[in-house]
């Protein structure tokens, strides 16, 4: 079947620049909006928390609303620094907070969602049905609220990715809670074909595979 549904996409980027980080981050966010993207995701977690808060504020000055900005810590926070980060970011009402801590540290995931009312995202660094089952069982993630960013390519291809979707669906989740990581055309095809909630696009990173 051919899908005629619109697929929400967001621009992934916001990596740290080696110099003039905030000015170049602002330019990148403006570039994304000029391309037509309304939602953006940036990286945090590799600088001091106060510096990362300034990164968030810099992009919000372009986008206007927290619900249009997601942040990705790339699994960098310890249990203690993860809780410090969620408390610092909660007032900004962000779209979601992705890959906060060690992907297999389900206890910290559970501690985070107990205090962080806004959506979190997990799954990018989990590659199998077994890992997905443990995330479902032990992390405390909230169906219909949090976002699952498993990568179809990292998960050994579409068959295992489909098994992960069915696992979550059988436990009260919707496939609309899934947004494939990757930022490439394959992810868009998967989101369209399976009726997922959206996907990432990397407009200028990871070429020639990034973007659509």
d(CA 31, CA 62): 10
Torsion angle, alpha carbons of 96, 33, 199, 71, to 10: -30
The question of whether 181 is a catalytic residue gets the answer yes
Task: Count CB neighbours of 165 within 10 A.
Answer: 23
d(CA 153, CA 187): 9
Question: Which of these is catalytic: 41, 43, 109, 184?
Answer: 43
Cβ atoms of 150 and 129 within 8 Å: the answer is no
The question of whether 189 is a catalytic residue gets the answer no
Q: In what order do the strands lie in the sheet with 120-122?
A: 147-148, 120-122, 96-98, 69-72, 40-43, 9-12, 199-201
Three-state SS at 207? coil
Question: Which of these is catalytic: 109, 154, 181, 184?
Answer: 181
Q: Which residues are catalytic?
A: 43, 181
């Amino acid at each position: 079947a051919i899908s005629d549904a619109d697929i929400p996409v967001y621009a992934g980027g916001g990596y740290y620049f080696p110099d003039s980080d905030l000015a170049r981050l602002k330019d990148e966010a403006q570039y994304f909006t000029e391309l037509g993207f309304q939602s953006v995701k940036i990286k945090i977690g590799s600088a001091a928390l106060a510096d990362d808060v300034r990164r968030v504020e810099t992009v919000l000055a372009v986008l206007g609303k927290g619900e249009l900005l997601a942040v990705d810590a790339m699994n960098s926070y310890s249990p203690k620094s993860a809780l410090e980060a969620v408390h610092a970011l909660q007032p900004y009402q962000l779209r979601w907070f992705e890959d906060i801590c060690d992907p297999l540290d389900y206890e910290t995931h559970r501690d985070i969602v107990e205090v962080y009312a806004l959506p979190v995202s997990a799954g990018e660094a989990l590659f199998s049905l077994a890992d997905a089952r443990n995330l479902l069982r032990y992390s405390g993630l909230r169906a219909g609220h949090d976002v699952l960013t498993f990568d179809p390519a990292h998960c050994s291809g579409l068959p295992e990715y489909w098994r992960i979707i069915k696992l979550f669906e059988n436990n009260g989740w919707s496939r609309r809670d899934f947004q494939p990581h990757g930022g490439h055309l394959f992810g868009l095809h998967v989101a369209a074909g399976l009726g997922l909630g959206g996907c990432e696009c990397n407009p200028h990173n990871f070429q020639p595979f990034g973007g659509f």
